[in-house]
């Protein structure tokens, strides 16, 4: 801070400026204020301006010094979000490089900042990843999680679509499992159904991983979503349903008391019928008897 003016104001850049923007501003000031290019009478003032400009540039052009400076002066939100801001700046710089020079570590860094971006910037990131996947299919494994994030966020981009066309082999069972878990936290029935339908599409491209879609299909039914994941499994890979995971699903359905969850219970009873029709070898275990509700103390019969 010099005379109450912070380093960003001295260079005339925003607090989230990229390094290249800071460098460009510094070069412009040097060209305009160096004592060799100003009139004789303005040289003392030019030397003073250059001292401030160089001091600001020395800090803002160094990522570590810049972070310390921001925290000390509560710029960029201070210490609470400076790490995120720093990563966002780094991600923006990565996205402006030649795509052929992007590394796996670069992609991981971009993935970590997606949740902190506004929707417009998120879509710009997904579009950039889509274009990179087109040019560099060998980077596919690094866009699987962002492709699922694209769907969870409801972004109007085509990263998942491109992944399924170019490199469905990059999708692993671990990523499928995590995607299924994340869908449970999605708000809104319509958005949930959209994501379960996307899982059904992925299943059609990765039938070798069908068994890892079964529990997500049960979650789909238990949540009341009228999407097509379970019907797709029953059509393309019913053999992947085991007696053990069917029993687990029945336990979930049996906890749905008809008096409270009537419509949802009926919907899941229908799903049970679908499963048993596709897999008549499975056994439906009986519903456990309901525990007798004890009367309040004054009404209990004497023993």
76: left (phi over 0), alpha (psi -120 to 50) or beta: left
- pTM, 2 dp: 0.72
- Supply the range of the domain harboring residue 59: 1-94
Cα 169 off chain centre by: 20
User: Is 76 inside any structural domain?
Assistant: yes
User: Is 294 inside any structural domain?
Assistant: no
User: Is 4 inside any structural domain?
Assistant: yes
Pair of tokens at residue 220: 């789909």
- Domain co-membership, 52 together with 78: yes
Domain boundary, last residue among 62, 94, 126: 94
User: How far, in Å, are 8, 42, 66, 163, 198 from residue 167 at the CA level?
Assistant: 44, 63, 40, 5, 16
User: Is 299 inside any structural domain?
Assistant: no
Name the residue among 138, 149, 214 with its Cα closest to residue 175: 149
Residue 80 has what pLDDT? 44
- Domain co-membership, 123 together with 204: no
- Domain co-membership, 206 together with 266: yes
Beta bridge partners of 23: none
User: Is 89 inside any structural domain?
Assistant: yes
Return the sign of the alpha-carbon dihedral for residues 187, 191, 192, 193.
Answer: positive
- Domain co-membership, 241 together with 273: yes
Residue 198 has what pLDDT? 98
d(CA 133, CA 110): 14
Pair of tokens at residue 196: 């379960």
- Domain co-membership, 47 together with 10: yes
- Domain co-membership, 236 together with 206: yes
Residue 46 has what pLDDT? 82
User: Is 290 inside any structural domain?
Assistant: no
Question: What pLDDT tens digit does each residue of the chain (303 aa) get?
Answer: 445 678 888 899 887 777 778 888 888 888 887 777 778 888 888 888 888 899 999 998 887 888 788 777 665 544 445 666 777 888 888 998 888 889 999 998 888 888 878 888 899 999 999 999 999 999 999 999 999 999 999 999 999 999 999 999 999 999 999 999 999 989 899 999 999 999 999 999 999 999 999 999 999 999 999 999 999 999 999 999 999 999 999 999 999 877 677 899 999 999 999 999 999 999 999 998 877 766 566 655 665
């Amino acid at each position: 801070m010099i005379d109450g003016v912070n380093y960003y104001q001295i260079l005339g850049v925003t607090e989230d400026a990229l390094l290249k923007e800071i460098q460009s501003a510094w070069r412009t000031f040097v060209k305009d204020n160096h004592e060799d290019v100003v009139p004789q009478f303005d040289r003392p003032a030019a030397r003073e301006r250059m001292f401030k400009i160089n001091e600001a540039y020395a800090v803002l052009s160094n990522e570590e010094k810049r972070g310390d400076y921001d925290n000390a002066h509560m710029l960029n939100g201070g210490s609470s979000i400076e790490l995120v801001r720093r990563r966002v700046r780094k991600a923006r710089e990565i996205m402006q490089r030649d795509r052929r020079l992007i590394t796996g570590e670069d992609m991981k860094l971009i993935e970590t900042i997606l949740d902190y971006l506004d929707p417009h910037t998120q879509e710009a990131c997904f579009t950039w990843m889509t274009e990179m996947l087109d040019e560099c299919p060998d980077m596919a494994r690094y866009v699987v999680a962002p492709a699922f994030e694209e769907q969870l966020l409801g972004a109007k981009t085509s990263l998942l679509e491109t992944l399924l066309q170019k490199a469905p082999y990059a999708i692993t069972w671990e990523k499928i499992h995590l995607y299924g878990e994340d869908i449970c936290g999605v708000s809104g029935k319509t958005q949930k159904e959209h994501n379960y339908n996307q899982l059904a599409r992925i299943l059609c491209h990765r039938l070798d991983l069908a068994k890892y879609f079964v529990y997500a299909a049960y979650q789909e039914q238990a949540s009341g979503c009228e999407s097509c994941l379970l019907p797709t499994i029953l059509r393309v890979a019913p053999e992947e349903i085991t007696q053990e995971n069917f029993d687990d699903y029945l336990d979930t359905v049996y906890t749905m008391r008809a008096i409270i969850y009537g419509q949802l219970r009926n919907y899941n009873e229908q799903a049970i019928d679908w499963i048993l029709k596709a897999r008549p070898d499975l056994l439906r275990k009986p519903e456990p008897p309901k525990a007798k509700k004890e009367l309040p103390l004054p009404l209990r019969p004497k023993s």
